[in-house]
Amino acid sequence: MPDRSPVKLFFTVTILLLGLSSAPLITRQAPPPSILDQIQRSGELVVLTRNSPTTFYEGPNGPTGFEYDLVKLFAEQLGARLKIVTPESFDAILPLVAQRNVHLAAAGLTVTEERRRRVRFGPPYLEITQQLVYRHGGKSPRDMTMLGNGLIEVVAGSSHADRLRQMAMRTPVNWRSSQTDVAGLLARVWEKTLDYTVADSHEVSFYRRYYPELRIAFDLGPPQQLAWAFPKGTDDSLYKEAQRFFQRIRADGTLDRLKERHFGHIRDFDYVGLRRFLRHQEQRLPRYRRFFEGAARKYGLDWRLLAAIGYQESHWNHRAVSPTGVRGIMMLTRATAADMGYRNRINPRNSIYGGARYFSQIKRRLPEDIEEPDRTWFALAAYNLGLGHVLDVRDITRRRGGDPDKWMDVKENLPLLMERRWYRKTRHGFARGIEAQRYVENIRSYYDILLWQTDSHRAPANTTILVRSPGLQQNVPPIL
């Protein structure tokens, strides 16, 4: 008879179970890769944004914009190349994200409760207010009850449309949405073909430099946050990576430097100065443009930057003379003009070519660690103050714990060149640092205007456009 002792039976069952556990499981499948794994395997981060000067556009040195620079850094952190796509219209952004046609949207999106139901927002990175805009000379309303029959038109699918929809439940409001973008609506208000529109505060600050008669009536509510939008789902690998990214760039100052780079020079609004610039741009610049373009080609510069320098120096007046004796469009000293190869500095061509050569030399002499676009802003300060004083303020910045290679940090320390307790410790002594601050910020603003008016704020030619047609299924497959 077979041995059925309890001990032997126990060992027999145990051996069988161990054998089964070591056998391969034919039906067991590995879990699917996370979104982050997929991005790192494909080597591509697909980001949806919109073409505008506050988000993404083609600049003189290639793609740029606040949102573009942010997501480019994020792609670098992931070890992936960045693929930018733009929607056919603003109101297609959230559907494209929700349907997982992109990894995320970085499009200057305001965080609202209604949008939270459709997408998942990442960490906020910029605070804005919604502002009602009108043209100077018309009614100046202080609240919604003073609008009368005036029409407000806003971008379809925007948070502005959501806000007006909510406000209309309490107060009668004459408003509508359209597929026109913010720039187009602000232009129509300026042209007096539209009574009012609503735009975010940083966009209003940007466009008021091109349409000086635009005015802010009032804010439509408390400040709001901008954030990236991610598809909803259980996979939060990319979302958590974005959280780590924003934590890092806040801690190391990168986020503040990007804000300074794109918005730091547009805070102050000088109506009279801008009006004068636009008038001179029309009346004076055409006489000298060919010289700016020729000098820019010769010295590898942007002619619009040279023109902006020339305007700050002389208002494009070739007979201009300063109290200190500098003369001409680019306000060269006699010695500098001679060093650049020109004796007659009143001659417009001589002045512009001499100024361009001098500016390019300054840029080359700056420390190699200073990168663009900061390098250009440093060179502008040196054109105004002298290179020695700029090197001095870099030393002051380093001593105060700032980054001497970043314009944002050095800019804040320029006024210290006027304080004895600081300038007596420098090699070159006293300098009018506040003047240099304003000098650089003014040129940056004039440069922006010239860029915008020569149609540089368009999307790069290789940008993918995702189309969402009303009533049809999305014509591109989900990537997630």
Dump strand ranges (E) for 374-419. Answer: none
What pLDDT sits at residue 472?
Answer: 31
Judge if 303 and 382 occupy the same domain.
yes
- 84 occurs within a structural domain: yes
Q: How many domains does the chain have?
A: 3
- 20 occurs within a structural domain: no
372 tagged catalytic: no
Question: What CA–CA distance (Å, rounded) separates 356 from 297?
Answer: 10
Judge if 391 and 338 occupy the same domain.
yes
Judge if 250 and 101 occupy the same domain.
yes
- 480 occurs within a structural domain: no
Judge if 300 and 449 occupy the same domain.
yes
Check which CATH number belongs to the domain holding 67 and give it. Answer: 3.40.190.10
Judge if 302 and 389 occupy the same domain.
yes
Judge if 54 and 139 occupy the same domain.
no
Angstrom distances, CA of residue 379 to CA of 196, 360, 370, 443, 450: 41, 8, 10, 12, 19
pLDDT digits (tens, 9 = 90+) for 380-398: 999 999 999 999 999 999 9
- 474 occurs within a structural domain: no
pLDDT digits (tens, 9 = 90+) for 105-122: 999 999 999 999 999 999
Q: Which two tokens stand for residue 431?
A: 């300098």
Judge if 211 and 241 occupy the same domain.
no
CB half-sphere exposure, 96, CA atoms < 13 A:
30
- 458 occurs within a structural domain: no
The residues, ordered by sequence, that sit 6+ positions from 394 with a Cβ below 8 Å of its Cβ are 367, 404, 405, 410
pLDDT of residue 363 exceeding 80 = yes
pLDDT digits (tens, 9 = 90+) for 76-86: 999 999 999 99
Confidence of residue 465 (pLDDT cuts 50, 70, 90): low
- 479 occurs within a structural domain: no
Confidence of residue 274 (pLDDT cuts 50, 70, 90): confident
Question: What CA–CA distance (Å, rounded) separates 101 from 47?
Answer: 9
- 473 occurs within a structural domain: no
Judge if 187 and 248 occupy the same domain.
no
Judge if 310 and 254 occupy the same domain.
no
Judge if 346 and 432 occupy the same domain.
yes
Angstrom distances, CA of residue 60 to CA of 65, 70, 303, 304, 410: 12, 19, 10, 10, 24
- 104 occurs within a structural domain: yes
What pLDDT sits at residue 466?
Answer: 60
Domain of residue 373 covers: 271-453
The catalytically annotated residue of 58, 313, 419, 435 is 313
pLDDT digits (tens, 9 = 90+) for 64-101: 899 999 999 999 999 999 999 999 889 999 999 999 99
Residue 219, helix vs strand vs coil: strand
Judge if 245 and 365 occupy the same domain.
no
What pLDDT sits at residue 452?
Answer: 83
pLDDT digits (tens, 9 = 90+) for 325-359: 889 999 999 999 999 999 899 999 999 999 999 99
Judge if 120 and 255 occupy the same domain.
yes
Torsion sign over Cα 298, 303, 305, 311: positive
pLDDT of residue 15 exceeding 50 = no
Residue from 242, 166, 151, 235 nearest 198 by CA: 151
Taking the model in full, what pTM does it have?
A: 0.81
Check which CATH number belongs to the domain holding 415 and give it. Answer: 1.10.530.10
